[in-house]
């Protein structure tokens, strides 16, 4: 599988009416299910996700910082090593000259901002020491 | 000379699904051999590859340079083999050709989806295609020139096979979106010009559009205008071959699907569910973007039986070529729901009339996959379906549609009409019609005002959707249950497990079945990975005539019911003869 051996999550976000929203979130198993995304949002903000504002996205996030924090939470929930996030504009740049699906994810990885799940990294270090 | 049989892989590349023939993917010297491989008398769908025929600006290749552009030869070969060639001229970007089929010289701006993401599609060989916007005036001008050249070529070569307009798109969140649903910068520039023309009639200090709702309606109007431009161009040039536009939705082509496809995580159950949802819309599903390895088992059966053998013959019923080879007269549509505002923008709070009033939810539960939702009404006395209850939203009724509805009623049709937003003049005309023709009407109140009118076999029920929309779901369900009982809908209710899919088709009767008023075939499918059961209660006017060869399934008949057991991947078909109650 290559790029997704570590179960990387990819997220594409947009800016709509003064807030950020994730419009696509997927990993090696495809699109992430809405239940997990909603539950992570609710846990993160301690409120239910208001779905009427922009019903086709996960959010709202008032800042990029909040978006990044949510992304990290998602990594922890799904025990993924990292999440790569891209704005719509960055996504379009990334895929503009990609013509096969093998290079598609590689290009997203190169153009996106990667947020590492340090907990998983930490576990690996401890595993290496104690095994 | 002995011709080599094509390999399975080659076959799938050239015939990627439902007898679509991608003629440019093989040498023209092999066309006859390849078309012979699929047997005789097939309806072949030939999408025209605009970019392939584009030589340079204003000049086109129809067998002058590349032999693969010889459409006349292709047409001759297909007809010689007893096939029915159906040409598809693109009215939108094509997701199965690089650049969407737009010639390189005029492909400048990429088309984007409503979220601003570039449209990308994945073909069965995992190549990625980017689509170019049809809102570019250069693209339109080039298209106009190409279609004119195509028409002259067809006339010179005496090609009389039908040409349809392919409105290519995808299915997402229960809706069909054509690739003309493009929100690129080019779209916004063109839309701004459209708004400035409209604004000429608005006072200068007034904001226009005045609300988000108005803006969405204008976007819808503008997109429809652009679509009409491309359709009109084809209609004018290709007049003797032209059959009209046809919506084609590709499995695996939505923006959501792209991510499932690049991660190789798309699955047949999802495609199966999407296929059944597509069948309730006025669109033809196509699986040509899905690899053959995914189209196995139940999905393959569904594509063959529902798409190839039922939906395609019903949709591509041409005035030019007559096809009597099909066993089926079409899918069973007990209800036809018209709603002209059926394209919704993401984030919009607008809802279809039939969602607001609860009818769609009721039909999904009680008459699954036995209805169709249409966003236009083209009255044609040859295509009116009197076995279907026609449901209209008042906001869509103009003078012309009103006259057609009355004609339908007088010919024995059954109509449900939501009077919310019905034009007051039309409302008065309907009332006058009832009075002038001494039509029996009954008025009552059941969760909202209802008026019931009968004219022989014809029935019209008017109800106040504005009031009904405010009720809770259970009240709406109660309303529709009661109302539909007055419409003589003959239907066999089915008890089935969560992942079971089924499809009813109307079948032509044979000489042994002339005692029945109607014959229907029920196809049951289990795409899940576990055993499931289906019960069919035998009601008085349904008689089981025969069962087809079961695949991983079996059935037993008890006193008043038929019990079907379907193993994972199982399917069975049952034919029923129907008497009037």
Q: Are B310 and B328 in contact (CB under 8 A)?
A: yes
Average model confidence (pLDDT) across chain B: 89
- The Cα B581–Cα B571 span in angstroms is 30
Note whether A21 contacts B: Cβ–Cβ < 8 A. Answer: no
Q: Which residue of B has its CA nearest to A97?
A: B130
pLDDT in tens, B430-488: 999 999 999 989 999 999 999 999 999 999 999 999 999 999 999 999 999 999 999 98
> Nearest to residue B275, comparing CAs of B574, B491, B527?
B527
Phi and psi of B176, rounded to 5°? -95, 130
- The Cα B139–Cα B233 span in angstroms is 13
Q: In B158-211, which ranges are continuous DSSP H helix?
A: 185-198
- Of the partner residues B117, B127, B256, the one whose CB lies closest to the CB of residue A100: B127
Return the residue in B119, B120, B256, B291 with the most chain A beta carbons within 10 A, the one to mutate for interface testing.
B120
What are the tokens at B27?
A: 């040498």
For B56-122, what is the HEC assignment? ECCEECCCCCCHHHCHHHHHHHHHHCCCEEEEEEECCCCCCCCECCCCHHHCCCECECCCCCECEEE
> Which pLDDT score, from 0 to 100, does residue B17 have?
93
pLDDT in tens, B333-380: 999 999 876 555 544 545 678 989 999 999 999 999 999 998 878 765
Residues of chain B positioned with their CB less than 8 A from the CB of A52: 349
Q: In B279-358, which ranges are continuous DSSP H helix?
A: 297-302, 312-315, 353-356
Chains A, B: CB contacts under 8 A, how many? 76
Q: Are B108 and B136 in contact (CB under 8 A)?
A: yes
Residues of chain A positioned with their CB less than 8 A from the CB of B115: 14, 23, 56-57, 88
Phi and psi of B186, rounded to 5°? -65, -40
Report in angstroms the alpha-carbon separations of B473 from A23, A80, B167, B469, B508: 30, 40, 35, 9, 38
> Which pLDDT score, from 0 to 100, does residue B100 have?
95
Residues for chain A: how many in total? Answer: 131
pLDDT in tens, B528-571: 999 999 999 988 889 999 999 899 999 999 888 999 999 999 99
pLDDT in tens, B70-83: 999 999 999 999 99
- Give me the architecture of the B8-318 domain, per CATH: Alpha-Beta Barrel (3.20)
For B173-301, list the strands marked E by DSSP.
Answer: 175-178, 242-250, 284-286
pLDDT in tens, B296-345: 889 999 999 999 989 998 888 754 444 445 566 788 999 999 987 655 55
Q: Is the pLDDT of residue B44 over 90?
A: yes
Record: contact B112-A100, CB cut-off 8 A: no
Give CA torsion, residues B50, B53, B59, B64, to 10 deg: -160
- Of the partner residues B117, B122, B130, the one whose CB lies closest to the CB of residue A91: B117
Q: Is the pLDDT of residue B231 over 80?
A: yes
Record: contact A24-B126, CB cut-off 8 A: no
> Which pLDDT score, from 0 to 100, does residue B493 have?
92
3-state secondary structure of A87: strand
Phi and psi of B552, rounded to 5°? 50, 40
Residues of chain A positioned with their CB less than 8 A from the CB of B346: 54-56
Interface of chain B against chain A, CB under 8 Å? Answer: 98, 110, 112, 115-118, 120, 122, 126-130, 173, 255-256, 259-263, 265-266, 346-347, 349
Record: contact B116-A92, CB cut-off 8 A: yes
For B258-276, what is the HEC assignment? HHHHHCCCCCHHHHHHHHH
Give the count of domains, chain A.
Answer: 1
What are the tokens at B226?
A: 């652009």
Q: Are B541 and B575 in contact (CB under 8 A)?
A: no
Q: Are B205 and B215 in contact (CB under 8 A)?
A: no
Ramachandran bin of B352, using left for φ above 0, alpha for ψ from -120 to 50, beta for the remaining angles: beta
| Smallest Cα distance from A51 to chain B, Å | 9
Record: contact A102-B122, CB cut-off 8 A: no
> Which pLDDT score, from 0 to 100, does residue B3 have?
42
CA–CA–CA angle B143, B239, B408 (5° rounding) = 115
Q: Which domain holds residue A21?
A: 2-130
- Of the partner residues B117, B126, B349, the one whose CB lies closest to the CB of residue A92: B117
Here the ipTM equals 0.86
Domain B495-578 in CATH 3.40.1000.10? The answer is: no
Q: Per the omega criterion (within 30 degrees of 0), is the bond before A60 cis?
A: yes
Q: Which of residues 75-114 of A touch B (CB under 8 A)?
A: 88-89, 91-92, 95-96, 98-102, 104-105
pLDDT in tens, A32-65: 888 888 888 888 776 655 554 455 688 889 999 9
- The Cα B513–Cα B228 span in angstroms is 45
């Amino acid at each position: 599988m290559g790029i997704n051996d570590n179960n990387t999550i990819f997220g594409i976000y947009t800016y709509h009416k003064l807030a950020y929203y994730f419009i696509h979130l997927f990993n090696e198993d495809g699109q992430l299910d809405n239940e997990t995304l909603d539950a992570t949002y609710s846990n993160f903000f301690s409120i239910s996700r208001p779905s009427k504002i922009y019903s086709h996205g996960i959010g709202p996030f008032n800042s990029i910082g909040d978006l990044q924090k949510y992304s990290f939470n998602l990594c922890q929930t799904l025990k993924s090593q990292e999440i790569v996030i891209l704005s719509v504009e960055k996504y379009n740049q990334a895929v503009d000259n990609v013509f096969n699906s093998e290079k598609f994810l590689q290009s997203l990885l190169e153009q996106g901002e990667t947020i590492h799940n340090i907990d998983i990294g930490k576990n690996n270090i401890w595993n290496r020491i104690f095994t | 000379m002995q011709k080599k049989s094509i390999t399975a892989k080659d076959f799938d590349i050239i015939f990627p699904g439902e007898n679509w023939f991608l003629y440019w993917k093989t040498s023209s010297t092999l066309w006859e051999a390849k078309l012979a491989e699929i047997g005789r008398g097939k309806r072949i769908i030939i999408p025209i590859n605009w970019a392939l025929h584009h030589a340079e600006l204003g000049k086109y290749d129809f067998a002058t340079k590349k032999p693969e552009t010889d459409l006349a030869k292709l047409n001759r070969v297909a007809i010689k083999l007893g096939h029915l060639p159906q040409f598809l001229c693109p009215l939108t970007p094509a997701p199965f050709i690089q650049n969407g089929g737009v010639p390189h010289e005029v492909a400048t701006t990429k088309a984007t989806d409503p979220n601003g993401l570039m449209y990308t599609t994945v073909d069965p060989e995992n190549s990625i295609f980017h689509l170019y916007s049809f809102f570019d005036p250069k693209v339109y001008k080039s298209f106009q020139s190409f279609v004119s050249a195509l028409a002259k070529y067809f006339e010179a070569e005496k090609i009389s096979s039908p040409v349809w307009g392919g409105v290519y798109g995808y299915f997402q969140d229960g809706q069909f979106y054509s690739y003309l649903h493009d929100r690129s910068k080019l779209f916004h520039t063109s839309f701004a010009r459209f708004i400035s023309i409209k604004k000429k009639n608005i006072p200068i200090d007034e904001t226009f559009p005045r609300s988000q709702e108005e803006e969405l309606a204008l976007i819808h109007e503008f997109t429809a205008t652009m679509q009409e431009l491309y359709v009109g161009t084809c209609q004018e040039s290709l007049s003797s071959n032209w059959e009209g536009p046809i919506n084609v939705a590709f499995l695996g082509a939505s923006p959501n699907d792209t991510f499932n496809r690049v991660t190789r995580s798309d699955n047949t159950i999802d495609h199966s569910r999407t296929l059944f949802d597509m069948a309730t819309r006025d669109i033809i599903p196509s699986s040509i973007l899905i690899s053959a390895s995914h189209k196995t088992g139940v999905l393959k059966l569904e594509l063959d039986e529902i798409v190839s053998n039922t939906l395609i013959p019903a949709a591509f019923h041409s005035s030019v070529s007559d096809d009597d080879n099909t066993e089926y007269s079409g899918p069973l549509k007990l209800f036809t729901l018209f709603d002209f505002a059926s394209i919704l923008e993401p984030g919009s709070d607008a809802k279809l009339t039939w969602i607001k009033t609860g009818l769609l939810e009721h039909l999904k539960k009680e008459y699954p996959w036995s209805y169709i939702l249409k966003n236009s009404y083209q009255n044609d006395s040859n295509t009116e379906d009197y076995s279907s209850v026609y449901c209209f939203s008042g906001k869509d009724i103009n003078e012309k549609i009103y006259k057609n509805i009355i004609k339908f009623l007088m010919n024995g049709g059954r109509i449900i009409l939501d009077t919310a937003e019905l034009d007051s003049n039309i409302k008065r005309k309907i009332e006058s019609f009832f009075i002038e023709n001494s039509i029996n009407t009954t008025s009552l109140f059941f969760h909202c005002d209802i008026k019931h009118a009968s004219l022989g076999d014809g029935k019209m029920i008017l109800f106040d959707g504005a009031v009904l929309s405010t009720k809770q779901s259970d009240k709406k369900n109660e309303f529709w249950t009661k109302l539909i009982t007055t419409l003589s809908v003959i239907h066999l209710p089915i008890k089935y497990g969560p992942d079971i899919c089924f499809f009813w088709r109307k079948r032509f009767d044979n000489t042994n079945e002339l005692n029945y008023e109607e014959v229907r075939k029920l196809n049951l499918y289990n795409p899940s990975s576990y055993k499931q059961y289906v019960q069919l209660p035998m009601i008085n006017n349904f008689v089981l005539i025969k069962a087809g060869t079961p695949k991983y399934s079996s059935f037993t008949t008890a006193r008043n019911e038929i019990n079907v057991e379907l193993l994972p991947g199982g399917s069975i078909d049952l034919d029923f003869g129907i008497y009037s109650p």
